[in-house]
Amino acid sequence: MFGTLLRRRARTFFNTILHWTGYEWLRNAAFGSAGFGLLFGLHDGFYRLLKYLAGVELIGLLLIWKLTAMLLLMTFSMVIVSSLLTALTTLFYSSDLKFLFKAPLSLRVVFLDKSLESAFFASWMIGLILVPYIAALMRVRGLGAGYFLAFAAALPPFLLLAASFGIAFTLLLLWLFPTSRTRDIVWVFSSLSLTVVYGLVRFAQPERLIRPDALKVVAEYLNFLQAPTAPYLPSWWLAEALRMAAEGNGRGWALRTAGSWAMACLVYGLLVALAGKIYFIGYSGAQEGALHRRVHAFQLLPEQRLLGVRSAAALLWKERTTFFRDVKHWSQILLIMGLVFVYLFSIQRLPLDSAELKSLVSFLNVGAAGFVLAALGLRFTFPAISLEGRSWWVLRSAPLDIGQIMREKFAFSAVPILGIAATLAAMTNWILEADRFTSWLSLAALLTVGLAICAMGVGFGALFPNFLVENIHQIESSVGGFVYMAACLFYVGLTIAVLAPPMQMHFAERFGTGVWNSRVALYSGAGWLILNLVAFIVPWQLGRQALEDHE
């Protein structure tokens, strides 16, 4: 029966491809090209890094294999965390589970099908990132195509073991606490784990690998390089297998690869056997509705009635209630807090030794923080219209126009975005001790960038609405999401370019090599104003017209 399920998946895959329209072929080709471009960029970056490490005398090879072990350990941790969320959705809330449980299939066959699906979706993208690294390693060490085959043979058990640990944790958690509230706990726990892992990797300061002077003594540095990285984890087994394959030790590679396959089959077999006992208990409990004792009542203050803002207040109340009701948003807030903290930590660790260089980095922070704000806009602002889903008709049937709905979406997302923008600008300027002109310019620029990103998010979200999606990731990865991110990155880049002349005159004045040119500053200010007007107005008007024409 498991073979029948595999044939069903294969037929679904090929039927989907055969029924692609011309637009879908063009869209997927564009996304595929962008993905290959990203992988090529990663390959180039890895190659430059590994080539530099290989040139370090005496310890260059140790540096390369230490970095490989650290990268694999991080990959192993990320797959475990990813499988927690993927297994929760696939094993307990997938839409085809009701059909599978009614079919003449054993419980273990159903679990086998869905758990392999979970393992694949949790690991394929993370594992794909290792390909450009291995390709760069092959170029640096002069290895042939056989080395890539050795890597391809050793990678699947490594990913399967990591995914099995995450699936086992989710399975046991739903068995011990068979309730829909456990889903919320898993979401928060997974996001917290990812935040901690990300923070620990950054706080470990991996740049010490290429800066032995950062450690106190040479002996300590050598011990740090020679010490294994988690020797009892599959990440170290894979690192050792890759090292032996690179050194031509085929027997050592075969033994470690065979051991990884044996361990993966054993762990996964025990997981399937355990699922036969406890899987249905967790599934049954997960289908129960949550108990809500809190009653949400909308109340309008007297002064709001006098000001005539009843519609806007009601929309904001609805948005606030639905936002905080969804625990996935709380988990995203944990990730954002960790991202901001690590970002500021990275700024603080920059090796800057002059006031002018610190002020320059403070200005360039507008671009880096702008990319962070664009990513947050893609996650929270752009999907705001589409997340209304099938209840969109309720808003359209209410005495509201499209402009009111869009302004409410903008106001709700602008407040946190502006808070993050102000925090990044103010804390960066304080850490770097930037001069007054640079501090005020970067703060004003980031606040404006935050507002423009919110406006573009609502505008492009209205221009590319999708009210029939099952989860928010389908909205983010859509064509509209790609266009929105491209527009945001283009806007941030133009902002840096337009504000560069005033900064150049400011530094020239400080060094005594030039004077302030008011005409250039006026042109720069006019260009910045025009750029922001275009960013605010064009996507907004296009999106509003698209929503008014939407049926």
Task: Specify whether 195 is located in the same domain as 315.
Answer: no
What amino acid occupies position 213?
A: D
In a domain, 198, yes or no: yes
User: pLDDT per residue over 491-519, tens digit each?
Assistant: 998 999 998 888 888 888 877 776 778 88
Does one domain contain both 281 and 383? no
- Provide the pLDDT for residue 229: 59
Mean pLDDT of the region 353-371: 82
CA–CA dist 377, 384 (Å, integer): 10
Q: Is residue 9 part of a domain?
A: no
Do 364 and 249 sit in the same domain of this protein? no
Same-domain status, 519 and 441: yes
| Cβ neighbours for 331, distance < 8 A, ≥ 6 positions apart | 187, 188, 190, 191, 192
Handedness of CA 425, 426, 428, 433 (dihedral sign): positive
Last residue of a domain, one of 252, 286, 320: 286
Q: Both 351 and 446 in a single domain? A: yes
Sign of CA dihedral 99, 101, 102, 108: positive
The reply to whether 172 falls in a domain is yes
Q: 201 falls in which pLDDT band (50, 70, 90)?
A: low
Shared domain for 242 and 367, answered yes or no, is no
Residue 97 lies in a domain: yes
The verdict on residue 330 lying in a domain is yes
The verdict on 86 and 189 lying in the same domain is yes
**Domain range spanning residue 198?**
32-286
Residues 324 and 400 in one domain: yes
| Better-predicted residue by pLDDT, 464 or 93 | 464
Which are the contacts of 259, defined by CB distance < 8 A and separation ≥ 6? Answer: 237
The DSSP line for 481-499 is HHHHHHHHHHHHHHHHHHH
Q: Kindly state whether residues 255 and 335 are assigned to the same domain.
A: no
Task: Return the top range by mean pLDDT from 184-193, 287-296, 341-350, 375-384.
Answer: 375-384
Residue of higher predicted confidence among 220 and 102? 102
Query: Which residues, at least 6 apart from 477, have a Cβ–Cβ distance to it below 8 Å?
Result: none
The whole-angstrom distance between residue 337's C-alpha and the CA centroid of its chain comes to: 14
Mean predicted confidence (pLDDT) in 371-380 = 83
pLDDT of residue 190: 59
d(CA 485, CA 476): 10
* Locus of tokens 């699947």: 156
- Report the alpha-carbon distance of residue 427 to residue 441 in Å, rounded: 14
For 153-183, the pLDDT digits (tens) are 999 999 999 999 989 988 888 787 766 566 6
Residues 6+ apart with CB under 8 A from 100: 110, 113, 114
Residue 281 has pLDDT above 80, yes or no: yes
Same domain, 413 and 482: yes
Q: Residues, the chain, total?
A: 551
| Residue 302 falls inside a structural domain | no
CA 277 and chain centroid, separation: 35
Last residue of a domain, one of 229, 254, 286: 286
158 located within any domain: yes
264-273: pLDDT as tens digits? 999 999 999 9
Asked whether residue 526 is domain-assigned, the answer is yes
Q: Is 301 helix (H, G, I), strand (E, B) or coil?
A: coil
SS3 231: coil
Judgement on whether residues 252 and 335 belong to the same structural domain of the protein: no
Give the pLDDT band of residue 331 (cuts 50, 70, 90): low
Q: pLDDT tens, 417-474?
A: 898 889 888 888 888 888 888 889 889 999 999 999 999 999 998 888 877 765 666 6
pLDDT for residue 86 is more than 70: yes
Last residue of a domain, which of 286, 318, 342? 286
Handedness of CA 167, 115, 151, 252 (dihedral sign): positive
- Tell me: pLDDT of 295 over 80: no
- Do residues 255 and 331 share a domain? no
**Stretch 347-374: mean pLDDT:** 80
Q: How many domains does the chain have?
A: 2
| Torsion region of 352: left, alpha or beta (phi above 0 gives left; psi -120 to 50 gives alpha) | beta
Burial class (CB in 10 A: 0-12, 13-18, 19+), 331: buried
Would you state the pLDDT for residue 304? Answer: 44
Spatial separation of the C-alpha atoms in residues 182 and 189, rounded to whole Å: 10
The dihedral sign for the CA sequence 329, 334, 335, 341: positive
